[in-house]
Every structure is written in C-alpha cells, then in structure tokens.
Structure 1
Amino acid sequence: MTGQTWTPAPRKGAIPLHPMQFGMILGRAFAGLRHNPKVLFGFAVVVQFVVGIITAGVMLLVGWFVALRIASVPPSSPDFGAIVAGSIALGGLAAIVMALVTVALTAVVQGLVAADVSYAALSRKASLRMLWSRVKPAFWRLFSYTLLQALAALLWTAIVFGIVFGVLALGGFDSTGSIVLSVIIGLVLLLGSIPLFLWLTTKLLVVPSVLVLEHATLGAALVRSWRLIRGRFWPALGIMVLINLIMGLAMQVVAFPVTIVSTMITGIVAPTGAEGPSEVIAIIAANVVPQVLLLAVQAIAIVVQGTGATLIYLDSRMRYEALDQTLIRHVELASHGTPDEQLGDPYAVDPARAVSKTPRPTTHPGYAPGYAPAGYPPAQHPAGQYPGAQYPAAQYPPAQYPPAPYPPAQHPPAQYPAGQYPPAPQNPQPAAPPSAAPSSAPGAADSWTAPGSNA
C-alpha cells in the first residue's frame, strides 16, 4: 500500500474552459440561467418588480400632489405660473431620482450576473451573499458607468434635437423648405446614430465584467474593454444583436396576447366604467398581470445579456491571455482540497500576459509565445570559382578465381507409394578430420638435421 489517495476528476463546469465559438457563446448565454436560477432569476425579477412598483407609486403620488396644488390656485392668480413651473420641476426631479434608482439596481444585477458566471467557470454555485461580496467593492464604479451611459444617451439626444431646432429657427418655423431640411437632417442623424451606438456599446461591452472581476478603476476598465474587444468585435456584435432580437421578440410574443386579453376582460367586467369595488379590483388585476409577465421577461433578458457579455469577456481573455490554463489549474487544485487562501484569485490580470496597446506580434507556428526562433540573415559569400580537387582513379585488375572442380550432385527421384513416407533421416555425424599425408621415407619423422650440417 502506498500513501497516495485516489481523487476524482474535477466536475465539468457550466462554462467550458477553452476558447468558444460563436454558437457556443450564444447557446451558453441562454443556458447559463439554469446554472443558478434561484439567485439570478429570482433576484432580477424582484429588482424589476420593486423598481416598477416604486416608480409607479412615486410618480402617482407626485402627479396627485401636483394636480391638487395646481387646482388649489385659480388661473387668474399671479402665482399660478410659478406654481405650475414648480410642479413641473418637482415631477421632473422625481423622474430623475427614480431613473437613478433604476440605474443603480440595474448595475447591481449586471454585477451579480458577471460574478455568477465567474463562479460557474470554476464549477461552483454561489449564494447571493457570495455574489454580493464580489460585487460590493465595485458597486459605485458600476453605478457610475451605468449613469455615464444614460447621460451619454441623453446628451446625444439633446444634440440631435438642438441641431434640428436650430435649422428650423434659422429658416423660419413657417418655411416649408426649412421644415423639410430639418426633417432630412434629423433622419440622417438618427440613422447615423445607430451604427455609432452599436460600435460604442460593443467596444465597451465587457466593462462591467472588468470592474467586478478585476477590481479595476473606471478608466482602466474602459481601456481594458476596448483592447479585449479589439480582435473580437464582429462576433461580440453579432452575439449581442441576436440576444437582443430574440429577447425583444419574446417580449412582443408575451405582451401582445396578454394585452388583448386584459383589454377584453376590462370591457367585459366594466363596459361603462368601474362602479363597484369588485369591478375596480378586476380592472387592476387585468392590467397588473400583463405587467408582471413583462417584468419577468425583462429580468430574463437582463440576465441573458449579462451572461453573454461575461462569456465574451472570458473568451477574449482565454484567447489573448491564456486564462483557460489559469482556470484549469485553479479547478484542479481546488479539487485536491487546496484552501481558497492559497489558490488566490484566478481572474487577476498577469501584467506579462495582459493585452497591451499594440497587438501582439505573430509568432512562428509550433513555438510558444516569446520563444520564436531568431531570424538570422543568410550568409553572404562572393560568387567565386573554386576548382574541385582532382584525384586519379585507382586501377585494380579484376580478381581471378578458378571455378570450383565439383561435379553437380546427382539425386535419383525417390519412388514412394501413396501414403507411405520414409522415416525422417537422422542427423549425420561430423566427418573425421583428414589424416596427415604419408611421409616420403620411413623414419623421416624421427630424424631431424639442422640446416647446413652434414647428415
């Protein structure tokens, strides 16, 4: 018996630890929801529902207060204009506050999705507390990035409307030519903003993943996302466009029949308007249920979009920074019982492997990066004429061998009756060595005379 113990192979995770193709990323973006549905889907649905309820409640209260405030002042009052302006400002402030709340909760969901995918790649299913502990240090950076996106969209919209309004003001609001010109300019700017929006959103697609998994600053995350997507722009764009189209179609499939059913229920229950409490409750239920279903579909869309963006982040790092080797080593060590304190963070960026400002040079195939053979220039020699060495050919006479005086062996054909075979021959005994030649005279072997002596 040896001291070694058997350890089972690491369990295959929900995310393959190798560079992924287009279809694999798209499929895993939808399948990733099944890895941890209670945490991701449940939390996303709760967030969407809470945001919807709070937004609707706040706007209803503000609208009710504004209506009462305006109704309390007669139009002939000198304070009527100021009260109306203040009420509109209050409504706008409430809308801005609720938009900020929505941005914050959306940023939290994006961060949780990125953290959950990172645990799924390590074959681990994290709880909500574990995910929040990963997202909490990067929360304000996530919030700032999401707010920056909203402000950029508002700024671009204001620029487009400002240009259109300026053209109308210069040409005159009653001039047909200026109206047509402003419409054309507005359409050109609107159509031109579509590729600009797609380009920017794709180049900055993995910023939330970088903020959560690498603990980078906002500026560093913008640069990292730009560099990681540099060689994967078209696959990333295609994946996100397909995800948005699929989820948009799903929302329409859910919203259209549910809206028709709710309208029919409202017409059947209260065709002339709600008069009793039961009718009011039925109308509210008929309008709330479709919104709940839409919120559920929106939650799924947020999770799928975040999963797809995080998978693109992992794929880019696997291709450019060999992250798959780091993750495989982490999983193997964890399966052998190595504590988390010794494992470290597998998503930490190695400066030696990090994507730099300039693309990596193409290495010779078959050599590891950094070990390509050095290129030496070919040796230059003058084109001189060198005579080859001359050697005389050796002359050797052909060897003469007399033919051997042995007659060919004659063997008569053996005659055996059918089925009768002679016994196997015995091994022949070796022949005795030939005897010495007889001496020419008797007694020559017994007498010997030295040369030069007399016999």
Structure 2
Amino acid sequence: MTQDMGWGPGAQGGPPGPPPGWGPGWGPGWGGAWMPPPPKPGVIPLRPLNLGDILGGSFAALGRHWKQLIGMALVAYGIAALVLGGAAAIAVASVHDHFDPVFNPDYDVNPARSDVEPLVIAGAIVVVVAIALWLLSMALMYSAVPAVLQDAVLGRRSTFGAVWRTSWSRFPAVLGTLAIQMGAMLAAMLLFIGLLVTTVLASSGAGHDAPPAALLVLFAVGFLALIPVGIWLWVRYGFAPAAAVLENQGPVEALRRSGRLVKDAWWRTCGILMLVGMISGVMGYFIQLPFTYGGVFAAMPLALSDDSHGAKAAAVVIMVVLYLIGMVISQFLSTTLPQLGAGLLYIDQRIRREDLAPALATAAGVPPVPAGPAGTR
C-alpha cells in the first residue's frame, strides 16, 4: 500500500492519530492504523530486526550476561590449556634426548634420521591434540552463547549453572555440526592437495623436470575457488549452533535448518556476520595491543638491569602473562560477539518467516506482538 510521505498523525485522509495521552512510541502499523510499538522484554524488540537492533542486541547481551559467558570461557579454554600443556610436557619428556642431536649438531654434521623422526611425530601429535581441543572448546562456547541469548531476548536472568546445564546437554549436537563442516572443508582440501601431488609425481615419472605451467595455474585457480566455497558454507550453516541448542536439533538437521533459514537471505546474512566479525576482531586487536606492549615495557627494566638469569626469566614471565591475558580477552570477544550476532540473525529470520514474535512475547509474559504480513523479509 503506497502511503503519502507527507501524512502525519491526524492529517486529513491519513491514518488516525494515537489515542490521547499516548507517548511518542506509537506509529503507523501494518494496516495503516496506529498501534503501540512492539514489546522489548530483553535486548531486542520483538519484531523483524535491522542492523542496529542486531549490533545493539549483541553488545547488550554481552554486557548483561558477561559473567556467565566468561565463566564458560574459563571452563572451556582453561581445561583445553591444561590438557594441551600436559600433552606438550609429555611429548617433550618423551623425546628430550633427541633435542641436542637435532638442534645442536656438531659442525657440518646433519642430524640423524633416528633423532629427527621422534621429534616430528611428537610435534604432529601435539598439533592434533591442539586442533581437537580447539574444536571442543569452540563447540562448548557455541553451545553457551545461544543458551545465554535465549534468556537475554526474553529479559530473564540467567545463572552460570543453568547455562552450563543447557550448554552441556546440547554440546554433542553442536560439536557434530562443527565437525561436519570442518570435515567437509578438510576433505576438499585433502582432495585438492592429493590431485596436485599426483600430478607432480606423474609429470616427474614421465621425464619432465616440472609440471606444465598451465596445469599449475589451473590448480592455483582451483585453490582460490575454495575460498568463496568456504565462505558460502560458513554463511549457509552459520545458524546451525543456534538451531541445535534452541530447537534441540541433531547435527544434520541443525545444518539443514540453517540452510533453510539462510535461503533467499544469504547476502544480508553474510554482510552482517562479516561486519560483526570485523568489529569483534578490531576490538580484540586494540584490547590485546596494550597488554602486549605493556608487557614489553614492564619487562624491559628487568631484562636490562643485569645479566642474571633470574631477572631475564622474570621479564619473560611478565611478557608471557600479560600477552596471554590480552589474548584470552581477545579470543573471548572474537568467539562470543559473532555468535551473539548469528543468534540474533537466526531469531530475526524466524520472526520474519515463521512469525516467532508472538511466541516470544508469550514466553516473556508481555502483550502479544501485532502480526505483520507473512513472509516479511
């Protein structure tokens, strides 16, 4: 319905004005009649969200429930750090005798293979353990954010215990969604690398010193093509953790659910997710910066005071501790803030496509939301 932009409340021929005594929150509704603004029991109004709602709601949820989120981050990353430290200590202890022959060999003497192989195997095991721990801790945080966001949207108070129970119960499903996505990308990368290695070996076996340049260019283009494919998959399945937690979906169904919600809204979803990610990245960088340089400046007097090993060791400890504090805060922001934005986008798509707002209003105990046109995007 086309409406004259010059119409105002009570103008002749325009929609009726608000009842006497009502404040400035009133505005023209879906049918042209004046109606109250949508309720806002929590961090967002219960209506289709715009960019400002999503950004403001993400920061508001982080500000109101930071204790629960930081508690979950300390559990996730703290346990991961302890396990990784233990694995690294065991690896170093098991191959300690091979360090000197490899890193301090005699002049013009190459390290023996029997000394190099144990170090490579131990390092590979530590890397695999680190990747597995990173995936597990990320899955736990991705389970916690929707649990917190549910209370933040409804305006309810949350406790660490309640968030932990919800997160732990949905942790396997969220871990499954992340593992499927990472497995698909890893399989594509391994297939591409396998084809490249096979081609190079075949060219060498045929007597060529190097594979044809055109073939190398083709492989380079194929490798670059994996980047947009990865971005497309990241956006398409970005709502899977929220669906797994808030709808009790299994891993595969959560991925399908995310794909259905992102359909016909991919570019909007991509733009907002990238914007929130960039904001969190910039914030994390500027937060980590003073800790990094502060550690350097704080440790410099100790490092320059004398030649004692104790002073230098204390300088190193100060730099490492301050750097790790900044890194933990930065990692916390880069993990939680984008997921809060993704969760609000998930709720926004359900409000637009499935008229979720009345159900949210009922759950929050506030008056129902005026219904809008079906399929509003």
TM over 0.5: yes
The alignment status of 1:197 with 2:230, answered yes or no, reads yes
Q: Which residue of 1 aligns with 2:151?
A: 119
Say whether residues 1:88 and 2:117 are aligned partners: no
Aligned to 1:110: 142
Give the TM-score taking structure 2 as reference length: 0.74
**Aligned partner (choices 276, 279, 295) of residue 328 of structure 2:** 295
Question: For the pair shown, which has the larger CA radius of gyration, 1 or 2?
Answer: 1
Alignment correspondent of 2:26:
none
* In structure 2, distance between residues paired with 1:256 and 1:367: 47
- 1:40-439 aligned at under 5 Å gives the runs 40-45=69-74, 47-68=76-97, 81=113, 84-172=116-204, 178=211, 180-181=213-214, 184-256=217-289, 258-263=291-296, 269-270=302-303, 275-332=308-365
**Structure 1 counterpart SS, 2:45:** coil
Give yes or no for contact 1:29–1:311 (8 Å, CA) kept in 2. yes
Could you list the runs of 5+ residues in structure 1 that have no partner in the other structure? 1-9, 336-365, 371-455
Matched to 1:279, the amino acid is: K
The CA deviation at 1:33 is 0.5
| Other-structure match for 2:63 | 34
Mapped contact 1:211–1:221 kept (Cα < 8 A): yes
Q: 1:63 to 1:115 in 2, by over 3 A?
A: same
Shift of 1:98: 3.2
1:27–1:274: structure 2 CA closer, same or farther, 3 Å change rule? Answer: farther
Query: Do the aligned partners of 1:112 and 1:131 also contact (CA within 8 Å) in 2?
Result: yes
Which one is further off, 121-130 or 15-24?
15-24
Letter matched to residue 148 of structure 1 = I
Asked if the contact 2:196–2:219 (Cα under 8 Å) also holds between the matched residues in 1, the reply is yes
| % identical equivalent positions | 23
C-alpha distance in structure 1 between counterparts of 2:166 and 2:97, whole Å = 46
For residues 148-189 of structure 1, what are the alpha-carbon distances to aligned partners after superposition, in whole Å with 9 as ceiling and x for unaligned? 333333323323332333333233499676375565345323
> Structure 2 vs 1, CA of residues 243 and 62 (structure 1 numbering), >3 Å: closer, same or farther?
same
Instruction: Give the number of the structure whose residues are more often helix, by fraction.
Output: 2
Give, in whole Å, the separation in 2 of the partners of 1:276 and 1:89: 32
Deviation for aligned residue 1:265:
5.5
Shift of residue 259, structure 1, vs aligned partner: 4.0
Looking at structure 2, the residues matched to 60 and 226 of structure 1 have their Cα atoms a distance apart, in angstroms, of 43
Secondary structure at the counterpart of residue 365 of structure 2: helix
Q: Which deviates further from its counterpart, 23-32 or 44-53?
A: 44-53
Amino acid at match of 2:353: Y
Which residue in the other structure is 1:7 paired with? Answer: none
Shift of the 51–273 alpha-carbon distance from structure 1 to 2, 3 Å rule, reads farther
Residues 59 and 94 of structure 1 are in contact (CA less than 8 Å); yes or no, is this contact kept in structure 2?
Answer: yes
Superposed CA offset, 1:330-349 (max 9, x none): 2227x9xxxxxxxxxxxxxx
1:138 Cα deviation after fit? 1.9
Residue 145 of structure 1: how far off its partner (Å): 2.0
- CA offset at residue 196 of structure 1? 0.6
Please state whether the residue corresponding to 1:270 is helix, strand or coil: helix
Q: Gaps spanning 5+ residues in structure 2: where?
A: 1-38, 106-111
Deviation per CA, 1:37-93: give whole Å up to 9, x if none: 1111343255335434542453244134323256699x9xxxx75675455334323
Aligned equivalent of 2:45: 16
Q: Helix, strand or coil for the counterpart of 1:302?
A: helix
**Structure 1 CA distance for aligned equivalents of residues 240 and 169 of structure 2:** 15
Q: Give the Cα separation in 2 of the matches to 1:34 and 1:57.
A: 34
**TM-score, scaled to structure 1:** 0.63
Asked if the contact 2:200/2:210 (under 8 Å) is kept, the reply is: no
Paired with 1:274 and 1:167, the residues of 2 have a C-alpha distance of 56
Relative to structure 1, the CA distance from residue 369 to residue 20 in structure 2 (aligned partners, 3 Å threshold; closer, same or farther) is closer
